[in-house]
Chains A and B, each alone.
Chain A
Amino acid sequence: MKQMTFAEGLSLGLQESLEQDERVVLIGAGFGGLTPYRSAYAPIRGRFSERITDPPIAELGYCGIAIGAAMTGLRPIVAMGTGAFSFEAFPQIANEAPQAYYGTRGQVTCPVVFHMMTGIRGAGALQHSSSPQSMYWNTPGLQLVVPGSPADARGLMKTVALRSENPTIFIDHQRLQGVTGMVDEADAGEIPLGVAEVKREGTDVTIVAVSVMVARALEAAEKLATEGISAEVVDPRTLVPLDKATILKSVAKTGRVVVADESQLSCGVASELAAIIAEEGFESLRAPVKRVAIPNVPIPFHESEEKYITPSAGWIINAVKQICN
């Protein structure tokens, strides 16, 4: 076991995928964006430069190229950079890739991964801070993986790059890059899709946290413990497919739940999870389900305003207290 950053874990998973299957190719390799942690990804270019194609600034074109390549024998991973850039490629990602398998009743598969850095990153301002995960959850035929730890980033990348035959949206976050955790390099570490993990056990309240919110939920649980509230943190790890059983089991145990995701509130990830819990776990609930999410607003530039709309550990604590008192 070794302590790693999220960036190091994801980089390890990408290198192992490239090593283990020559059909895995990279379209772009700008993982880690412009963060200081981007150096963790340098070995990818060092070791596999012949497997990397750096495309022109043409998201619609190169995402479509990745889809066509995936239908014809390759397993491309597209490093899209900022998640908002995927809007430039939306016709191919949302209206071609997910229909390949369904439209042919299982004859044509499309094993492509679209990796995107999402969320509020600090001065990303109006057009580089998007959280498109709920849009992709609303697009049937796309897998949606949302790791929040180094081991999950490594393991989920390996699973989708090496084992899956479906198109996948891989939600990364600028502020995840430095999150640390233990990774067992000796183990293959592949993580099956649709298996949530209880990141911290507790008895009074369940916090279902996604992606960058996992670390914030753990921080909140730590503080709540000092105030005598025992919070359980559940990380779905993948939204499509979704492990409802683990979430509902935790809710059955605690009777109270806060759902936290860094996307906008309306029709967002937190909203869908809350709806599932309300519909399928209603009898367990002893208080209303609370959602922690970005308010329905675009993302501003200045830290002062940005912080005001960013879901934090503090927001989770406030939500927990509203339903635990």
Chain B
Amino acid sequence: MATALSNAALRAALYRMLLMRRAEEEVIDLATNHENEIRGHYHVYIGQESSGLGACLALGPDDYVWTTHRNHGHVIARGGEPGPVIAEVIGRTNGYNKGRGGTFHVIAKHLGILQTSGIVGGCVPMAVGAAFSIKTRKTDQVSLVFFGDGVLEEGAFHEAINMASLWKLPVIFMCENNSVPPEGREQGQYPSSSLAATQLIDVPNAMNIESHIVDGSDIRAVAPLLSDLVVRARNGEGPFFVESRLTRWPGNMGAFPELIGGPYQIGWVWDPSTADAALQSWLTDSDPIALFARALVEEGVMSKAEVEADDAKASAEAADAKAFALSGPIPEPESAMDYIFA
């Protein structure tokens, strides 16, 4: 197992999670308070920050990451700057793909994120393909793909994990199951209404893929597990499947998120009873930021004042990112015809 994170690394991790959260709040602000910036539906990663960051911290700079329609948080977790991420979300030319993809397709080639598919399960075969490429080229890279629990309903998933297992490829399937009630995150049965398997990991286990369940809301559970699996994948022991169990943020609302009770207040971390009633149990049992911040304060890694200062800094960085995004040019109409072929 990887060694425990240093105090500085723990503080940096909390800052990154706060930045992911605050950037997503700016996205919601753009959708709700700005006309025509996000046309149509979109998805945010609020409440899952620990899972994406814990996995990305385990990766090296040359590794590949594949994600989904819920990609904004993953890209920032991987080291993406919130400015070009938000700019891409609203289609401006200062976004990572010069506004071509929008919220569904924040691709960041320089971070090894080569496709973020809006199709459920779309990236899973491509992630296996990258691992096939790694093995063929004999490098020690790893390919990690994030996806939701619904992907196990798709045929593409079953075909792709079969080949990953047959060919022993260095790929990690990071399934973020964000519909688990708090008591189900650690252990026990988790029946899905739309998958006949009793447990999600029964499916990869049947394909002889080593599978793990982790409390995804606890970054200090996710990061060491993934560090270990990444090292083992580099050593040719892959593939691996991880079910990262998370509890849905009450504001998720499917495709039209809503900031219940307004933007996140850092004071809610210390006293959930000051938040909207709909948020209180989530803040107490499931919010990755609240859980992590309270633990760091309890353990003396950080003071409350330091958490609050970091949050203020993350909020300011996210606000700057939104301003950067809004300052970006809109694509010229005729640019719709560019880059069809190399």
Q: Measuring CB to CB, which residues of chain A are less than 8 angstroms from any residue of chain B?
A: 25, 53, 55-56, 58, 60-74, 91-92, 95-96, 99-109, 140-141, 143, 164-166, 241
**With A60-B125, A64-B124 in contact, is A103–B100 under 8 Å at CB?**
yes
Q: Are B128 and A141 in contact (CB under 8 A)?
A: no
Rounded to whole angstroms, the CA-CA distance of A55 and B132 in the bound complex is 12
Query: Which of B12-20, B154-162, B228-236, B318-326 lies at the binding interface?
Result: B154-162
Closest beta carbon of chain B to A270's beta carbon, Å = 24
Chain A: which residue is nearest B335 at the CB level? Answer: A105
Closest beta carbon of chain B to A139's beta carbon, Å = 11
- The 0/1 profile, CB within 8 Å of A marked 1, for residues 107-138 of chain B is 10100001101010010111111111110110
Q: Are B340 and A140 in contact (CB under 8 A)?
A: yes
Chain A: which residue is nearest B66 at the CB level? Answer: A68
Chain B: which residue is nearest A164 at the CB level? Answer: B342
Partner of B114 from the list A72, A143, A165 (CB cut-off 8 Å) is: A72
Q: Are B129 and A108 in contact (CB under 8 A)?
A: no
Rounded to whole angstroms, the CA-CA distance of A147 and B341 in the bound complex is 20
Q: Is B249 an interface residue (CB 8 A)?
A: no
Q: Is B105 an interface residue (CB 8 A)?
A: yes
Rounded to whole angstroms, the CA-CA distance of A105 and B341 in the bound complex is 10
Q: Is B97 an interface residue (CB 8 A)?
A: yes
**With A103-B97, A103-B100, A103-B105 in contact, is A68–B340 under 8 Å at CB?**
no
Residues in chain B near residue A103, CB distance under 8 A: 97, 100-101, 105, 107, 115
Rounded to whole angstroms, the CA-CA distance of A106 and B132 in the bound complex is 23
Q: Measuring CB to CB, which residues of chain B are less than 8 angstroms from any residue of chain A?
A: 64, 66, 97-98, 100-101, 105, 107, 109, 114-115, 117, 119, 122, 124-134, 136-137, 143, 155-156, 158-160, 162-163, 166-167, 338-342
Q: Are B340 and A96 in contact (CB under 8 A)?
A: no
Most central of A69, A99, A140, A241 by chain B CB within 10 Å: A69
Residues in chain A near residue B130, CB distance under 8 A: 68-69, 71-72
Q: Are A61 and B125 in contact (CB under 8 A)?
A: yes
**With A103-B100, A105-B97, A165-B342 in contact, is A65–B132 under 8 Å at CB?**
yes
Q: Are A104 and B159 in contact (CB under 8 A)?
A: no
Closest beta carbon of chain B to A170's beta carbon, Å = 16
Chain B: which residue is nearest A112 at the CB level? Answer: B129
Q: Are A72 and B134 in contact (CB under 8 A)?
A: yes
Rounded to whole angstroms, the CA-CA distance of A236 and B127 in the bound complex is 36
Rounded to whole angstroms, the CA-CA distance of A13 and B167 in the bound complex is 28
Q: Are B166 and A104 in contact (CB under 8 A)?
A: no
Chain A: which residue is nearest B122 at the CB level? Answer: A96
Residues in chain A near residue B122, CB distance under 8 A: 64, 91-92, 95-96
Chain B: which residue is nearest A111 at the CB level? Answer: B342
Q: Are A64 and B133 in contact (CB under 8 A)?
A: no
Most central of B98, B125, B129 by chain A CB within 10 Å: B129
Closest beta carbon of chain A to B332's beta carbon, Å = 12
Residues in chain B near residue A101, CB distance under 8 A: 339-342
Closest beta carbon of chain A to B161's beta carbon, Å = 9
